[in-house]
Structure 1
């Protein structure tokens, strides 16, 4: 029996940063391939016309998922409150996009800056955790005022020293203690950090609102070492019925390639990556 999920794909497969000029072509391509959702990576809100996205959503009948990008200038664990304020403004802009696109949540590792991976004393880590909890509780209040949620994503140890596993992010959600705080999991990070992917998904449980996937090496789903049976079992156990979204990155953008350490293509073209990934996922879910 098929699991009741939809399939989506991240705009990062093809482009960075996503901008208005990309909208129609990417939506048309995504729909033509057979995807039901497109995950928009919002790097710079000023580059995106939300009305153009609305129009493309309607024309190509695609659901939109919104995913944030959190670099050093958007770090809620930074000592400088001006950096927090900048992050709050960015998140507020993303929430406005969520409303315009009928997206119920903003996803991403918004507790800290991506790439912030250090050896620090336990007391400092505790203080940064508490700061993340405090600031994310503020973010949850912002989200709830618009009837939205946030989906917090654990990252692997090379990209974050704060939240790495499903157990970590559940603890963060519990500490935030706000109904708007939810979870997104990414199979790539899970392949590094989780001893048992099925158990990790079950740990996230009712909090899980979005699921990203690629292979263990960020390649085409189905071509690597990922335990796809464990993922399916976990999603079935918790009754997940949201979007399963392919996330990988184009190596053509050198700034992005450096951030995610992708130096070579994983398919003859990014279109081939997307088509082959979807074909595998449809077979896997069926």
Structure 2
């Protein structure tokens, strides 16, 4: 039902999805933004996962072919298994980028999906290298809750920041604080993340 399911099935749904993402790319280009976040989309539970994988790769290729000439990169984030069954890990991300085979498709290292998959920062950079173009820098609670503002979870975020620096990462880092506790006042969560970041770098 969502117009942004990249693994959508059926000609009408796929046409609507492609049109949606072309609009997003056009908006990004107009605003001077050089990245659009994408995921693999979602499979049907009663189909072989490789069928959904093939549809996802095909759609990502079509969007990348549209985005590339407009100076926009797509950044593909892995999702947690409860969110999607298609791309869940660093290895899945690498496999999908290779399958799409277009230079406009890059990778997003999502700290939450990374932790749930048992991956590390080094795993992402070892597999994807310079294709890592965006990081969702989020805290994670001991119970597995992700998308938390820095300080609201139990992860050593300073060590994660050091890990990115050690790998020479100079790309985008965003605070994806998507949890219901932040919905009423998202600006406070952003301010908390920035305060912790400035404290970590001594600013």
* TM superposition score normalised by structure 2: 0.85
Any unmatched runs of 5+ in structure 2? none
The one of 100, 110, 116 aligned to 1:176: 100
* Mapped partners of 1:153, 1:221: distance in 2: 20
Q: Distance in 2 between matches of 1:267 and 1:74?
A: 22
- The offset of 1:185, in angstroms, is 1.7
The structure 1 residue matched to 2:160, chosen from 221, 225, 231, is 231
Structure 1 position 97, deviation (Å): 1.0
Residue 279 of structure 1 is matched in structure 2 by 195
- C-alpha spacing 1:268/1:235, structure 2 compared with 1 (3 Å): same
- Secondary structure at the counterpart of residue 7 of structure 2: coil
Q: Secondary structure at the match of 2:70?
A: coil
Say if 1:77 and 1:285 are closer, same or farther in 2 by CA, change over 3 A. Answer: same
CA distance in 2, matches of 1:204, 1:279: 30
Contact 1:183 1:204 in 2 (8 A): yes
Alpha-carbon contact 2:72-2:104 (below 8 Å) kept:
yes
The structure-2 alpha-carbon separation of the partners of 1:170 and 1:227, relative to structure 1 and needing over 3 Å to count, comes to farther
- Once the two structures are TM-superposed, the CA of residue 273 in structure 1 deviates from its matched residue by 1.9
Distance 1:206 1:271, change over 3 A: same
Give the 4+ runs in structure 1 shifted more than 3 A: 266-271
* Structure 1 pair 131–227 and aligned structure 2 pair: CA distance change class (3 A): same
- 2:8 is equivalent to residue 92 of structure 1: no
Is the CA contact 2:148–2:176 (under 8 Å) kept in the aligned structure 1? no
Distance 2:12 2:24 in 1: 19
**Matched residues in 2 for 1:201 and 1:226: separation?**
20
CA contact (8 A) 1:143 1:180 kept: yes
Q: For residues 108 and 60 of structure 2, what CA distance do their matches in structure 1 show?
A: 15
Contact 1:153 1:184 in 2 (8 A): yes
Name the CA distance, whole Å, in 2 between partners of 1:166 and 1:176. 15
- What is the CA distance between 1:214 and its match in structure 2? 2.0
Aligned-pair Cα RMSD in Å:
2.4
Count of aligned pairs: 197
Deviation of 1:176 (Å): 0.8
| Structure 1 unpaired stretches of 5+ | 1-70, 252-264
When normalised by structure 1's length, the TM-score is 0.62
Higher relative contact order, chain-length normalized (CA < 8 Å, sep 6+): 1
Distance 1:107 1:72, change over 3 A: same
Aligned partner of residue 74 in structure 1, secondary structure:
coil
